[in-house]
A and B are shown apart, each in its own frame.
Chain A
Amino acid sequence: MAKLTLQEWLMRAEGDRRFMENVRAIRRIPTRPGDFSGYPAWVHPSLKNVLAARGISQLYSHQAKAVDLVRKGLSVVLVTPTASGKTLCYNLPVLQKILEEPETRALYLFPTKALAQDQMHEVHGLIGELKADIKTYTYDGDTPDDARQAIRRQGHVVVTNPDMLHAGILPHHTKWQKLFANLQYVVIDELHVYRGVFGSHVTNVLRRLVRICRFYGRDPVFVCCSATVANPQEHAERLLERPVTLIAESGAPTAAKTFILYNPPIVNRELGIRQSALTPVRKMAAELIENDVQTIVFATSRLNVEVLTKYLKDRFAKGKSVDTQFVTGYRGGYLPNLRRQIEAGLRRREVMGVVTTNALELGIDIGDLEAAILCGYPGSIASTWQQAGRAGRRTGQSLALLIARSSPLDQFIVENPDYFFSRSPEFCRVNPDNLLILLHHIKSAAFELPFEKGERFGGENLEELLDYLEGKGVLHRAGARWHWSAESYPADEVSLRSVNPENVVIVDTTDAGNHRVIAEVDWDSAFTAVHDDAIYMVESQQYHVNKLDLERKTAYVRKVEVDYFTDAMTFTNVRVIDAFAKRPGREIIVEHGEVQVVSKVVGFKKIKFYTSENLGYGDVNLPEKDMHTTSYWFTIPRDRLAGLSYNQAEIIDGLAGLAYSLHHLAAMILMADLHDIDRAIGDKSGEWFVRKDRNWRTITTSPSGKGESTPATDAFDPTIFLFDAYPGGIGFSDLLFERHDVLLNSARQLIRGCPCQCGCPSCVGPTLEVGPRAKEAALAILSLLQE
């Protein structure tokens, strides 16, 4: 059969009624000409020649503006689309300066090792063509020991990641004297990635960087790039703690792209169950790959990557020989070598289909793919555009296809295309003064350089914290200085990316004589991913967890082949400690503040592959986790609820449904993972809360109590909490508090617009879980709230 081009495939699809029934929007992003500007006069002729030889005979307007500002010593943040030549905005002024003053040094920070490698190749290429004696190196965990010394001394441009800066460079700054004493530029790409917990850590790493620079008498210029978010400048200024100029107008031309939002059909209207997104993804990916359209599939979880890879591999294994790389998976857990191999395979078009997580979302060079299929909304509009941008970065015609899952977020996005295609509503938030995070970095900073009396670091009272650390015996005060005074290496005590630096290793015991470590998960994920009897997947291989040993931080697993995966169930109890602010209102109390959260994993569901059928339940016995954090909440007086025509159980179901949709929408506004915030229903006293077991929902008093349900509306002022799932909070709740009305409006839009009869995973949660009248009750409660 003749192969179709992408264009032909699209024409056929658009003529297919059954396909079009599910399409919610087709946008054709037209070709747009560029807005150009000449090179500034100061650009070195040989640099200009090298760029001209690459076809860059003039600059885009935003590039010209950026290089000019950077040249003047101003810090900038660029917010322009993928493939708009952002890298030139920093490479040009940096290389220029090195040509003028060969001692000049620059530090490039990328969020991942892979991106750093990639950027290195690009700079390396430029330098090679310049034929100048400029050295650029990546410095990360993979850098061999014998190369490190040369990098420290000779690297003009050192490309690394924040984790390495935190644990490998700053604590050894004396070895990097040459770099720091001549550091003129710090480049931070993918700035929007540094938000939430990671961003709060990175802000502190930058505080430490600036502090070390000051020791060596430098004050570098920062050049940042970010995906489109609602508050790029504010975010950059919070992260850098200095004024930053925003450049948001792109002068780059745009290639034509067809963007399709696709909502899989409803298969059960009563339950509001849609076809799994995996089904159309699988089908369309297979079709495109079959037609030699090189395709990248983004899945939202490690699990889905493995599941989809398995499907596609099975599919093509039939026709093809055992060429395993024709379609392949790609994600963070794969070994670096394998990843490099896959990237090269993509560039050479030997790999025609790749299924990945957001690991390939950012600027890793994998050549020009033609189609990007997004299996589920990636969680943010910024990510969606970046993932879509992986197809057709330079080619003429490309396709981006977003296939919605039944989650409220996905549904909201595909059912409100205008929301998606218009201005970004997403905010980046950091809370660098979260005390736990701040304290970690004060320790690391003291290790790097003793603190002087009167010095500032973060927004809290530094001297008090230093005295506290002295009391803990890790600092020693000598005169007006606090010195690190312990044997340990504090940077190793904290990981920038996870809440708890402690990991749980996963040991395969299938072969009794040869136990081997197959993976690691962070401490908090361990409770839900590798509890006893969980099914854990690596590379499409299933493992059954025999035992999670928290003391040894090890999960013992063995290989199995079963037709289901597991999904953990947790419950949560919240108590208000302190309200920071309250909205003026008559009856509905809207507040944010500090809370105590107790949570526990109580069991898990077994879910069948392909059908998502629930096969049963299991119990889990793990200790409770107790955490102080910040929360946003609102309380509805019980007598107002009593006026509604629903019984107690239905009202609780309605509240649960409302909380479900608010949780998802809050995650959307914050570009947060659903797990970064959490929800609970209780009353402010913490005395009562709603817990859910298997299939029923009850009001109980004690977190560990079982079955002692006391339906006592008269003692219970229902409160919905949305809280930061990180001790000390990460700055989400005050933003949610500010945007209370937007949240409620969006929830109403979502629930009202949902075509299901009485609740589904896309609005208030699956009917079986929330109860038959949850949807209408949730809407009634919303009306109360918005009166």
Chain B
Amino acid sequence: MSVISRLKRLTGEKSIDGGATRTGDGSRAEEIRALRERIDAVLSRRPEGRKVEAPPSARGRGVPLGDLIPGEETTNEAGAFFCAYRVAGGSSRHGERCIRDLTPLDMGRLAILANDPVLRGLDYRQALFLDTETTGLAGGTGTVAFLIGLGWFEGGGFVTRQLFARDYAEEKAALLGLQGLLRGRQFLVSFNGKAFDANLLAARFIMNRLPDPLIDLPHLDLLHPARRLLSHRLGDRRLGALEAAVLGFEREGDIPGSEIPQRYFDWLRLRDGRLMADVFEHNRLDILSLAALAARLAELLDPDGENARCQPGDRLAAARLFLARACPYDAVRRLVPLIGGSCPETAREAGRELSLVYKRSDQWPAAVAIWEEMVRRDGEDLFALVELAKWCEHRRRDIAQALALTMRACACAGRLSPDDRADLSRRRERLERKLASRTAVK
């Protein structure tokens, strides 16, 4: 008996010996027909699908990829792959902005975003924007980046190239193609690419026994700075949510990312270009959004915050990013105007950050002035009371005053967490001891 019949008996699948091959083929054809019907239904529901005039005879024969996506087969020594080519002109819009308004990108600010000073010496036209579409999110060597989307600024516009492995066998050629396009590119820009795209591609290069050309490139991953700069605005920090909220870009009829792997598996079996058209478009828009987001995040670092589109919260976030990047001067420049600002919550937070900068740089009078102002505004400001108490205890050596401030903080009953309470009571006991011993000496 064949292996498969034995296996089917174990799994309880139905199969009849001898007739197995015929029924197998029959059900396969049936399955493909069902798949086609499902796809037709899916595509006709989508605006993207409707744009494409599906020929009436399409059922049974797919639409060639080249008919739907501008691009061509490209060959190199590893074989062939499909490369899509598009240019977004300088005047074309992506959300609120035209492409030409995105540039030039301020490399100093990109370096801050990336936390990599190397970027300062580079040119924004050397950036390679990268986003891949993959056969899954699980990671591991069984996940393949079948579509490698790349983009860069060129001649006032934005160029995208999408390298597509039409089958697993074309992957090596596509990876070599990526290698070729890296010439002249000095750094990568991605969204979550450090953890995902670059990581996955590293595995793919090893699997294809090719050197990894990405590994040594500086890499600006926008995910982390975007979180730092925009988390006060957004709960959802995925690229799609950012697009709508900060780029003013709404997608229409976009394929959900979760459906993309299945589209590719379906494509492998049916070779119908309509299955992939949405995926190419999705990926191209992702790359454009990367460029727009990079520009927008750089803008949020505008030193004077004069840009009308910056809210106080944005400026506070920018200041905090500078603090995290150990650039206190830039942070102070943004914090000072915020203290007197109209939004009390931002003003308080800015005061707090600023006072800590002053404290760390031994500018005690400036720090104390802020704390005193904070206490004037809110007599129960725990942070300010505690900082003043520390200052009194350790700098001014005024134990009695420190204890008085601590007692005052202890009285802010409603605002104390158990940890706060424990800290305060430790402080209080210490101060009381000190006070007692001093009195004793006297």
Contacts and interface: CB of A to CB of B under 8 A. Distances in A.
A557 to B, nearest CB: 31
Interface centre among B28, B144, B206 (most CB of A within 10 A): B206
Interface string B190-222: 000000000000110011000000000000000
B254 interface: no
Contacts of B168: 450, 476, 478, 481, 483, 485
B3 A172 contact: no
A490 interface: yes
A28 B14 CA distance: 61
Contact of B138 (A483, A488, A628): A488
5 interchain residue pairs of minimum CB distance: A447-B142, A487-B136, A484-B142, A174-B203, A489-B138
A468 B4 CA distance: 7
A172 B262 CA distance: 22
Nearest to A434: B10
Interface centre among A476, A479, A487 (most CB of B within 10 A): A487
B141 A449 contact: yes
A408 interface: no
B265 A171 contact: no
A435 B28 CA distance: 23
A350 interface: no
A594 to B, nearest CB: 8
Nearest to B264: A485
Interface in A724-739: 727-728
B340 interface: no
13 contacts: A171-B141, A172-B203, A173-B141, A435-B7, A435-B10, A447-B142, A448-B140, A448-B142, A468-B4, A479-B169, A485-B268, A486-B135, A489-B136
Contact of B265 (A447, A485, A489): A485
B405 to A, nearest CB: 40
Contact of B10 (A448, A461, A485, A628): A628
Nearest to B170: A478
Interface string A485-524: 1111110000000000000000000000000000000000
A460 interface: yes
How extensive is the interface on chain B, given as a class? 20 to 34
Given A439-B7, A478-B167, A487-B135, A174 B12 contact: no
Contacts of B9: 577, 628
A447 B206 contact: no
Nearest to A477: B168
Given A174-B203, A174-B206, A450-B168, A488 B7 contact: no
Given A174-B206, A464-B2, 8 more contacts: A448-B141, A473-B265, A484-B142, A486-B136, A487-B262, A488-B136, A488-B138, A489-B139
Interface of B: 2-4, 6-7, 9-12, 24, 28, 135-142, 144, 167-169, 202-203, 206-207, 261-262, 265, 268-269
How extensive is the interface on chain A, given as a class? 35 or more
Contacts, number: 89
Contacts of B7: 435-436, 439, 465, 468
A694 interface: no
Nearest to B209: A215
A576 to B, nearest CB: 13
A448 B10 CA distance: 26
Given A435-B10, A464-B3, A172 B139 contact: yes
A172 B203 CA distance: 8
A471 B24 contact: yes
B265 A476 contact: yes
Nearest to B166: A478
Given A177-B206, A481-B168, A728-B10, A487 B3 contact: no
Contacts of A171: 140-142
A626 interface: yes
Nearest to B200: A174
B12 A626 contact: yes
Interface in A410-462: 435-436, 439, 446-450, 460-461
